[in-house]
Structure 1
Amino acid sequence: MNKETRALVFLGCVMIFCQSVSAQQLPEILTDHALQEEVYLPDYSYAGYHFGEDAVATDASDVVLHVTDFGAVADDGLDDSQAVQRAMDAANQTDESVTIQFPAGRFILSDILYITRSNLQLKGAGSAMGGTTLYYPRPMRYFDDPEPLTELREYLVELDKRQREPENNLDLPFSQYAWSGGMIWVAVPGARVKSYLDKYDQKPKVLAKLLEGKRGEHQIKVASANKLAVGDVVQIEWYNKEGKEGSLIRSMYDSVQLKVGSHHWNYPSHALVMQQVQITAIRGDQVTIKAPLLHDLRRAWQPVMVEWQHLEEVGIAHFNIEFPMAPNIAHHVEDGYNAIYLTNLFNGWVRDVKIKNADSGILTEQISNVTIESIETTGDKKAHYSVAMGSVHNVLVRDLTVRNRVMHPLSFNTHATKSVYTHCTVYRDPVLDQHSGANHQNLFDDITVYIDLDQDEYPLFAGGGAGYWKPSHGAFTTFWNIDVRFGNGMDRKQPVLLNGMKDGPSVRLIGVHGNRDLTINYQPNPYIAATNDPMILVPSLYNYQLQQRTR
């Protein structure tokens, strides 16, 4: 093909693309005000580091500590754990912002590295060939029991949590590392991350009782603002004090009749919904918060602002994290080859990390406004999670590539709200998972999945989790521009059925499409639009909403 022919072909492709773009209209849910009043679409644009408005802060810190100055030696085949811990101890002795810098090469580690202070970066030389590799030859099962998981260990024993598979002659206790813990562990010392047992309960430190506020708005009327200050990052808590038929439950599930698990009403002293917020203004009894409210503020729900213990400006970037290939024992019986565990963190990030042969790549609990981007999980081992979101708010996972087999490749877990997976790709056995536990108002956005079919249907939308936390998710979960690419069955003309949940209320499914025609079954009360049409004008709802808000 000569230059002139190539130019004509290129021009023809451009014209076809432009015609398709010009022919497509913005989805009605973005333009039709009457429809917007009827079909609520959350604003997801506040997800991510600094509410999505700033790039992650990877510039040099006030102090840079090189692990090689503390005795770590790359590529020498010896364990570097003690040297890296000496660098961390030095970082903890200064109040200035600190970067702990690893050079290129392979470092062997066999202990948990706890990050317990704000304004700290852990940086390598990159995840590409010639970058920095952290190699962990042993799982956490061989380490001393972590003190922060004491309550979880007791809970697993008291409730006799076991993985029982009679068909496989399997009856084993759950591992404390099935959904918790990591080799790099961000934690506030002494802070309770998640409630499991009543005996560990402590009354929250209430800063203000909340009197009025509307879902999606930023203004709150408080009984008194005396304990609040502009810039504070606090937690709003909503309680169900009305039992099995509580009005907060109805609000969470959009008044759809569903079988609701007992955890929604058996623990009235525990917050059923939590939202971390930053205060931007105070005028008398009127408080303004940066991001919009998840729910109305009704006195029956006894909403309050409480103290939230957290770290800020913590980052992990530019690493390979590798584990040896180990056999899979069973679901929930993982040995603890977990790479990163983020807890009690606000305005943090993980960036440019490749993770190989993990049980779980990145686990999260009680974090808000964190960006996790440019992550790749690989290996022959089947993982439990790639990047999991549990008890998070406004968290952004962007450019995640899942190349290995994972039980829950993209997953929103208990209490996850207003968080986003965007521009992610799952190459094997894809599942867009919502794992019960009052998770709601989350977004799967601009996702590409690859599927080999056994028949002309596939369970792309799945919901795991325990029955006492059902339904699989709350109202207004959104799927936007999901691209489903089938590797076989292209000679068959009938549409492929994508099976969704039967207990997923008021879901929004816009622009689910593929290289074969699709139909979708998702109940109850779904809003489904533009099936089989890619979202050319708005490929990412998150980006669109962010641009609309910040333009």
Structure 2
Amino acid sequence: MIFSCLLVSLIAQGQHVPNILSNKLVKSENYLPDFSYAGYHFSEVDIPFESTDTALNVEDFGAIPNDGLDDSKAILEAMKVVNGTKGNAVLQFPAGRFILSEILYISRSNFTLRGAGSGLGGTTLYYPRPLKFFSDPPELKELREYLVELNKIQKEPVNNLTLPFSQYAWSGGMIWTMVPGERVKSYLDKYDKAPVVLTKLVDGNRGEHDITVESVDKLKVGDVLQIQWFNKEGENGSFLYSLYDNNNLKALKLGSHHWKYPNHALVSQKVLVTQIKGKKIRIKDPLLHDIKEAWAPVLAEWKHLEEVGIEHFNIEFPMAPNIAHHVEDGYNAMYLTRLYNGWVKDVKIKNADSGILTDEISNVTIQDIETSGLKKAHYSVAMGSVHNVLVQNLVVKNKVTHPLSINTMSTKSVYKDCKVYQDPILDQHSGANHQNLFDNIEVWVSLDENKFEYPLFAGGGAGYWKPSHGAFSTFWNIRVNFTNYHDNDKVVLLNGMKDGPSARLIGVYANKEIDIEYAPNPYIEETNKRLVNIPSLFNYQLISRKNNK
């Protein structure tokens, strides 16, 4: 077993270890994914130190900090030049305040966008206008049509509000990684293109690394590809039972998107091919699901950028009215799409609609991020259709509708060592997201008057993508700080999730006694106990994996 050495060491030292790690019977009956492959290069190497390879400075293109003038044209020229260079490249911003009113597209690999820091004396990118007042991005054309065709309207009768959804509610950003010409998300059938299938898959088991394939002719070691699983069997397809751990599908009230689009992959796993031997290949991280003929699994091409970093910035927006949920104007700091082995670090974001949005990325580390401001945001750092993404040391100081949010089709991704200071929700946002981890999280909760319950686990998302999550979502060492009613010894109920099957909740505790309500079929252990010896499941699994190489 991959965790054996570290586990034996802890037990030998007389340290308490939760049963889900140490008890053979409990482990056999309660599958726990290995989350340790999340992050840049599977968290096996550090994010690159600040090299100066082919470093260009925006000042050389006429961008002058602190002069009160818009710097967009100069910075766009610098981006054009750096996107045309070969080899590793850095675009450097000096200290000071720069004003921008254009999207900075990053469309090449081996590139770092770097400021002089996020603290005093660092670099500030100030955007006086939202994306709403920019030209419509061609990359969101399909989304715009989708919002119209499906008549996506935000209706709030109590506020006398009926407004169409914004294209920027969950997409788009001022800094935007993208592969030119490549679709990011599927919204409308008319834009569908068949995936470039390299081989069908024949055999393999969940949690293992070896796969038997039909042909290796189009494969080579080092390929970064995607495994796709499909539900072609309708409303009661056998793959759905794997996705939801054999829970009652009717009781879960599965949304129609699970069977309405049988030619769209329901689950996608980005993989690195590490070995080819005969008709067997080995992939770096474990399989999300078994390989079965009924699920039509294939290995397909995945176009993406690699080795892109964004670091050491303040990103600020003016204080603007919060119109309504889904009607955001587009004060979005970043949109990361089609990125593999990338990073964002040391960034502070103020007054955003959404801080960092993501789609179709894998093995990206997002760390040392702070969101703040008086404006209520939609997202802080959101995970949408991602795999193996690690968000660590995120501090959410502002009010956010979905402060920590795992969205549609996200898998094996981790929020670790994060803090949420206002109205915390550990949100799972429907759409076949599963096998994700909230790890060593600390939140602050103010209880409503005489109401000793709080929906910490409330899940969002559209009904056609329900339930809120698939199997094996995991919460590990979650601390809740109640800021009021300290003189009342009444137990507080943490709830909010009624359609999240087979979750694992280990070590949820608080400064008051709590109880947990989570359904259906959760595994709950060590409630009201801090996990002192294994405070981070991710760290424990990563150290164990490295020790067992």
Structure 1 counterpart SS, 2:497? coil
Change in 2 beyond 3 A, CA 1:79/1:482: same
2:117 matched to which residue of 1?
Answer: 126
In the alignment, structure 2 segments of 5+ residues that lack a partner are: 1-11
Equivalent residues of 2:442, 2:480 under 8 A apart: yes
Q: 1:319 aligns with which of 310, 313, 320?
A: 313
Equivalent residues of 2:83, 2:106 under 8 A apart: no
Structure 1 counterpart SS, 2:294? helix
Q: Distance in 1 between matches of 2:348 and 2:135?
A: 26
The aligned amino acid for 1:203 is: A
2:530 matched to which residue of 1?
Answer: 534
Q: Distance in 1 between matches of 2:88 and 2:242?
A: 43
Q: 2:515 aligns with which of 519, 522, 547?
A: 519
User: Is residue 2:477 matched to residue 1:478?
Assistant: no
TM-score, with length taken from structure 1: 0.96
Q: Distance in 2 between matches of 1:39 and 1:254?
A: 10
What CA deviation, in whole Å up to 9, does each residue of 1:311-336 have, x standing for no partner?
A: 00000000000000000000000000
What CA deviation, in whole Å up to 9, does each residue of 1:439-467 have, x standing for no partner?
A: 00000000000011112100000110011
The aligned amino acid for 1:524 is: P
Equivalent residues of 1:500, 1:523 under 8 A apart: no
Q: Distance in 1 between matches of 2:496 and 2:506?
A: 14
Q: 1:40 aligns with which of 8, 31, 39?
A: 31
2:236 matched to which residue of 1?
Answer: 245
Equivalent residues of 1:74, 1:104 under 8 A apart: yes
Structure 1 counterpart SS, 2:79? helix
Change in 2 beyond 3 A, CA 1:427/1:23: farther
Q: Distance in 2 between matches of 1:210 and 1:225?
A: 10
**C-alpha RMSD of the superposition:** 1.0
Structure 1 counterpart SS, 2:490? coil
The aligned amino acid for 2:406 is: F
2:412 matched to which residue of 1?
Answer: 418
Equivalent residues of 1:425, 1:449 under 8 A apart: yes
The aligned amino acid for 1:230 is: V
| 1:28 Cα deviation after fit | 1.1
1:310 matched to which residue of 2?
Answer: 304
User: Is residue 2:444 matched to residue 1:450?
Assistant: yes
Where does 1:177-192 land on structure 2 (aligned, <5 Å)? Answer: 177-192=168-183
1:235 matched to which residue of 2?
Answer: 226
Change in 2 beyond 3 A, CA 1:238/1:338: same
User: Is residue 2:320 matched to residue 1:329?
Assistant: no
The aligned amino acid for 2:232 is: K
Where does 1:210-221 land on structure 2 (aligned, <5 Å)? Answer: 210-221=201-212
What CA deviation, in whole Å up to 9, does each residue of 1:372-424 have, x standing for no partner?
A: 00000000000000000000000000000000000000000000000000000
Residues 316-325 or 76-85, more deviating = 76-85
Where does 1:60-459 land on structure 2 (aligned, <5 Å)? Answer: 60-257=51-248, 258-454=252-448, 455-459=451-455
Q: Distance in 2 between matches of 1:216 and 1:500?
A: 29
1:6 matched to which residue of 2?
Answer: none
The aligned amino acid for 1:516 is: K
| 1:93 Cα deviation after fit | 1.8
| 1:536 Cα deviation after fit | 0.2
- May I ask how many residue pairs the two structures share in their alignment? 531
Residues 27-36 or 141-150, more deviating = 27-36
| 1:23 Cα deviation after fit | 7.2
What CA deviation, in whole Å up to 9, does each residue of 1:64-104 have, x standing for no partner?
A: 00000110101000111111111111112211110000000
Equivalent residues of 1:122, 1:316 under 8 A apart: yes
The aligned amino acid for 2:383 is: M
TM-score, with length taken from structure 2: 0.96
User: Is residue 2:545 matched to residue 1:549?
Assistant: yes
Structure 1 counterpart SS, 2:480? strand
Equivalent residues of 2:454, 2:496 under 8 A apart: no
Equivalent residues of 1:344, 1:367 under 8 A apart: yes
The aligned amino acid for 1:526 is: P
Q: Distance in 2 between matches of 1:227 and 1:249?
A: 30
Change in 2 beyond 3 A, CA 1:344/1:517: same
Q: Distance in 2 between matches of 1:472 and 1:111?
A: 36
| 1:195 Cα deviation after fit | 0.3
Q: Distance in 2 between matches of 1:49 and 1:206?
A: 26
Equivalent residues of 1:80, 1:108 under 8 A apart: yes
Equivalent residues of 1:495, 1:516 under 8 A apart: yes
The aligned amino acid for 1:528 is: I
Equivalent residues of 1:500, 1:521 under 8 A apart: yes
Q: Distance in 2 between matches of 1:62 and 1:378?
A: 33
Equivalent residues of 1:259, 1:470 under 8 A apart: yes
Q: Distance in 1 between matches of 2:284 and 2:228?
A: 16
| 1:545 Cα deviation after fit | 0.3
Equivalent residues of 1:123, 1:316 under 8 A apart: yes
Equivalent residues of 2:258, 2:266 under 8 A apart: yes
Q: Distance in 1 between matches of 2:194 and 2:240?
A: 23
Structure 2 counterpart SS, 1:512? strand
Q: Distance in 2 between matches of 1:24 and 1:223?
A: 47
Q: Distance in 2 between matches of 1:82 and 1:236?
A: 41
What CA deviation, in whole Å up to 9, does each residue of 1:173-232 have, x standing for no partner?
A: 000000000000000000000000000000000011000000000000000010011000
Structure 1 counterpart SS, 2:124? strand
The aligned amino acid for 2:21 is: L
Identity of aligned residues (%): 67
Equivalent residues of 2:314, 2:347 under 8 A apart: yes
| 1:284 Cα deviation after fit | 1.1
Q: Distance in 2 between matches of 1:507 and 1:184?
A: 35
The aligned amino acid for 2:538 is: Y
Residues 143-152 or 30-39, more deviating = 30-39
| 1:61 Cα deviation after fit | 4.4
Q: Distance in 2 between matches of 1:487 and 1:301?
A: 49
1:18 matched to which residue of 2?
Answer: none
Equivalent residues of 1:500, 1:520 under 8 A apart: no
| 1:172 Cα deviation after fit | 0.4
Equivalent residues of 2:335, 2:358 under 8 A apart: yes
The aligned amino acid for 1:310 is: H
Runs of 4+ off more than 3 Å: 21-24
The aligned amino acid for 1:211 is: V
